[in-house]
Structure 1
Amino acid sequence: MSSVRQIQVTFDCAEPRRVARFWAEVLGYAATPGPEEVTPEDDGSWAACVDPSGTGPRLYFQRVPEGKVVKNRVHLDVRVATGLRGDERLAVLEAECARLVALGGQRVRLLPADEENESCLVMQDVEGNEFCLD
């Protein structure tokens, strides 16, 4: 029986470097290839970003010819307000949302707290991939 040691999350996209830069800023990751790693033969068909601490998964972005058509079946939850509740949680979510909108993200909607879940914000990255601020 094998044991998985690491995972990579792969995004299909039109502009891999642009999407990688966005996610690197969101998560505090380092984008690759950096300007010093780009070669004349590089066609920009891929990019990645990695957690500098080495603990988070690598995110890989690959160019595909087709555009995004439907809702993601898998999405990332960016956990910025873990353990917070009520107005304090909403303030943290709103502040992070404003930062990500300035990077090119888009706010979709607030999912208000209910009996089971705390509030979260649904957003989209620079190519329309959904994610949640949680």
Structure 2
Amino acid sequence: MSSIKHFQVTFDCAEPERVARFWCEVLGYVVPPPPEGFATWDDFNHSLPPEKQDAGFVCRDPSGVGPRMYFQRVPEGKVVKNRVHLDVRVGTGLVGAERLATLQAECARLVPLGAVHVRTLFADEENESCIVMQDIEGNEFCLD
């Protein structure tokens, strides 16, 4: 049995392009070039039947290492806590006050982009600090 080498993270959302562009800013991801034959993503989008326009959007790691992220429009809004969430690893290897300051600086960068600071979990005897946040449509993620 062979192992899976690549995977995609898919978000259900109301506004795929808006949410994708938010995550591009968070992760340093990029929007790939539009399909061949189209100068822009808007040109491609307008070529689709009306019911498929604005139905999905993609961003990817420019280095090709991280997973592709796909954002798909769904009719229902978010109702409950995510069963899976992303941990944005900005504090890896840092401890104590240095880690907390790094997490807080990243939080301060993301809030003007539309992220919401939910709570800060301070270090204890077992865990280092992390910050729980929500993206622009309320999906939870952690700065870790």
Matched residues in 1 for 2:108 and 2:90: separation?
A: 13
- Runs in 1 of length 4+ with deviation above 3 angstroms? 32-35
CA RMSD in angstroms comes to: 1.3
Shift, 1:51, TM fit: 0.2
Cα deviations by residue, 1:63-88 (Å, 9 ceiling, x for unpaired): 00000000000000000011111111
Structure label with greater radius of gyration = 2
Indicate the residue corresponding to 1:9 in structure 2: 9
SS in 1 for 2:132: strand
- Quote the sequence identity (%): 70
Q: Is residue 41 of structure 1 aligned with residue 47 of structure 2?
A: yes
Per residue, is there more strand in 1 or in 2? 1
Matched residues in 2 for 1:98 and 1:60: separation?
A: 26
Between 109-118 and 50-59, report the one with greater CA deviation: 109-118
Cα deviations by residue, 1:7-29 (Å, 9 ceiling, x for unpaired): 10000000000000000000000
Number of aligned residue pairs: give it.
Answer: 134
Residue segments in structure 2 that go unaligned for 5+ positions in a row:
none
Matched residues in 1 for 2:96 and 2:64: separation?
A: 33
Q: Is residue 61 of structure 1 aligned with residue 65 of structure 2?
A: no
Indicate the residue corresponding to 1:74 in structure 2: 84
Shift, 1:36, TM fit: 1.2
Shift, 1:32, TM fit: 4.4
Task: Decide whether the 8 Å contact of 1:32 with 1:47 is kept in 2.
Answer: no
Cα deviations by residue, 1:93-113 (Å, 9 ceiling, x for unpaired): 111001000111000000111
TM-score, scaled relative to structure 2: 0.89
Indicate the residue corresponding to 1:101 in structure 2: 111
Matched residues in 2 for 1:127 and 1:32: separation?
A: 22
TM-score, scaled relative to structure 1: 0.95
1:104 and 1:33, CA in 2 relative to 1: closer, same or farther beyond 3 A?
Answer: farther
Shift, 1:33, TM fit: 6.4
One-letter identity of the residue aligned with 1:90: L
Indicate the residue corresponding to 1:19 in structure 2: 19
